[in-house]
A and B are shown apart, each in its own frame.
Chain A
Amino acid sequence: MFFGLPPTETLRGYRIWDSYFTPAFSHPGTDGSSKLINDIEKSMAAIQLGHFEKLCYFAHVGIGTTTDPELENLLRRKPELVLKPLERLPNKLLGMIQLNLQNPKGSLEALDQWVKNGPMLGVYFPGSGPAAANCLDPHATKVVERVSELGAVIMQHTWLKTGGKRSPNESTPMELATLASRYPRQKFICAHAGGEWEQGIRAVRDTPNVLIETSGFDATAGFIEMATRELGSKRIIFGSHLPSRSLGTELAKVITAQISEEEKKDILGRNYRKLLSVIQSRK
């Protein structure tokens, strides 16, 4: 064991696919990509140390997901900027687009441009910032239906905070379960398992098309054990939240859990690969 990490061959054997890579998450840089590239490079040591095979990040595509109007214009005028990270590390990075339910028309157009006709594999619904919207917002209906037609993946930010929501635009695992029950053939990823995972896991337990993502909160012991017990390892997807969280915090949750090695492989990559296979088969 090297500083708490298993041997290289074990890590490689996990075939780690990271579903929640967040370089420059809220703003890619005024030129459209420099901050994003810097953050990717900042994460390289952790990526190398963890022997990650793939990482999925969430691109801004000029539909109002940042607070910077000039950047939004730039990304619309020069869509090639959106592709820069994928061109830089094409065999390492996967992409999804951040959607804006406050701009449903733009979101539907972006789906066609970037998912149907582009390289992106799914969509991300943020929980904060100008594009945040509660997942039960009526505008979600058409967007979710379109995502479903395309066979793409949905990652929904969720947090369940003591004392209640800080904004009505946040979503909880309970609300995501309600939304997901309306689309039983569409898979939804409940990002961060709701943060307060003891309730988050219970909230989605009876909604089998909801999977939970593992990042975005401290390395609280017992999380993966409870999630595996209540949901089964097939409904759990690893995320790193690098670079704002760490390999230590996020990978340790899974590799140290008291579950089987096969269950770890499910969580660290196998489930995510299966989820992405629908849209990947259409590209």
Chain B
Amino acid sequence: MAFHRRELIHGALAAGTASMVAASEGEKSATTPLPSNVLPSNVLPPMSMPSKVIDTNVSLFHWPFRRLPLDEVNELCAKFQQLGITEAWAGSFEALLHRDLRKVNERLQKLCQKRAELIPVGAVNPNLPDWKHDLNLCLGRFAMPGVRLLPGYHGYALDDAVFGELLVTATKLGGFVQVVVAMEDTRTQSSSLQAPNVDPRPLQHWMQQIPDAKVQILNCRPSASDRQTFASIPRLTVDTSRVDGTDGVATLANAIGIDRVLYGSHSPFLIPEAACIRMVETGIPAVDVKAIMQENAEHFRITKSTLPHNQQR
């Protein structure tokens, strides 16, 4: 499946490049300058927005360091509606600094109950005493599909044993785990609260040790080296929120497989339209856009026990 889609991407990119080169060579060979309004007209594949779009990476409540234009839930949801986003997996900005995560998760759950499109993803900090209680609440009573971890802000690394313990427990409970590798560019953080980018490489070990674990990386701006790392970690999925460069999403998909790329915007910290526009400019075919913006997230969210046997992969 992944290989097939990768071939499709290669094909689309090759076709797009060929048309661009042909157009450019045309410009050159004609020695006549192009009129200012003429550019190759076929550089993008035909595209339409999927009827259902899942944004796997949004946050509710207030970013601690400034107010954001869409940090009230009604405005954020209105924007989702405008953009055609039908489902958004929501964490809480409060989880960055609060220690009383039970109340943080309760507020998140309560707020999401008011909006059908919001799916709460609670926070767990394995450095806090009795973190399993928060995990059980999130995946049990609150019936959240997964939890979101903030190692950079909560002070642990992915090679710490407690992370492995959390991943084992979450997997047994049927939940996925989102690992936030950064909330913002380290260069722009508050000088009094600097959170390092999280090193994802220890996930190689855990994903081999825990075959049913479902992990998604959030907010990574992947370098070539990161892409290699992600490709080498079985089943690891990555969101698109900070995958920049005009061909960034296609490059990531080529590196790790289209079925491991999930749409995410990191809104309202980042402008929601940014991730959306990148999906069309990156030049991948509509079938892959649909996979990234809808199908891959649907598959990721479904627990092993609820997945029909013939859909397991």
A162 with B189: CB separation less than 8 A? yes
Cβ–Cβ < 8 Å partners of A219 in chain B: 270-271, 274
Q: A4-B272, A92-B36, A246-B278 are in contact. Are A221 and B69 (CB under 8 A)?
A: yes
User: What's the A-B contact tally at a CB cutoff of 8 Å?
Assistant: 164
Considering the complex, which residues of chain A in the window 212-253 have a beta carbon less than 8 Å from any beta carbon of chain B? 217-222, 225, 242-249, 251-253
Write out, one digit per residue, whether chain A residues 74-87 have a CB within 8 A of any chain B CB (1) or not (0): 00000000000001
Considering the complex, which residues of chain A in the window 156-192 have a beta carbon less than 8 Å from any beta carbon of chain B? 159, 161-163
CA distance A219 to B221 in the complex (A): 12
Binds B, one of A46-54, A114-122, A264-272: A46-54
Q: A45-B43, A162-B191, A246-B245 are in contact. Are A3 and B33 (CB under 8 A)?
A: no
Cβ–Cβ < 8 Å partners of B33 in chain A: 87, 89-91
B184 with A248: CB separation less than 8 A? no
A220 with B270: CB separation less than 8 A? yes
Write out, one digit per residue, whether chain A residues 130-148 have a CB within 8 A of any chain B CB (1) or not (0): 0000000000000000000
Cβ–Cβ < 8 Å partners of B68 in chain A: 221-222
Asked if B82 is at the interface (CB within 8 A of a chain A CB), the reply is: yes
Q: A44-B20, A92-B36, A247-B246 are in contact. Are A252 and B190 (CB under 8 A)?
A: no
From the candidates A42, A163, A256, name the one contacting B246 in the complex (CB within 8 A): A42
From the candidates A196, A222, A247, name the one contacting B277 in the complex (CB within 8 A): A247
Return the chain A residue nearest B79 by Cβ.
Answer: A256
Considering the complex, which residues of chain B in the window 186-242 have a beta carbon less than 8 Å from any beta carbon of chain A? 186-191, 194, 221, 242
From the candidates B27, B186, B189, B194, name the one contacting A88 in the complex (CB within 8 A): B27
B244 with A246: CB separation less than 8 A? yes
Cβ–Cβ < 8 Å partners of A249 in chain B: 244, 274, 278
Cβ–Cβ < 8 Å partners of B275 in chain A: 248
Interface size on B, residues (CB 8 A): 59
Asked if B185 is at the interface (CB within 8 A of a chain A CB), the reply is: yes
From the candidates B40, B66, B280, name the one contacting A222 in the complex (CB within 8 A): B66
Asked if A109 is at the interface (CB within 8 A of a chain B CB), the reply is: no
CA distance A220 to B184 in the complex (A): 9
Asked if A203 is at the interface (CB within 8 A of a chain B CB), the reply is: no
Cβ–Cβ < 8 Å partners of B272 in chain A: 4, 256
Cβ–Cβ < 8 Å partners of A87 in chain B: 33
Residues of B within 8 A of A (CB): 16-17, 20-21, 23-24, 27-28, 33-36, 39-41, 43-44, 47, 49, 66-70, 82-83, 184-191, 194, 221, 242, 244-248, 267-283
Residues of A within 8 A of B (CB): 1-5, 37, 40-49, 53-54, 87-92, 159, 161-163, 195-196, 198, 217-222, 225, 242-249, 251-253, 255-256, 258
Q: A218-B244, A218-B270, A258-B69 are in contact. List 7 more A-B contacts (CB 8 A).
A: A3-B276, A41-B24, A43-B246, A48-B41, A49-B44, A162-B189, A243-B245
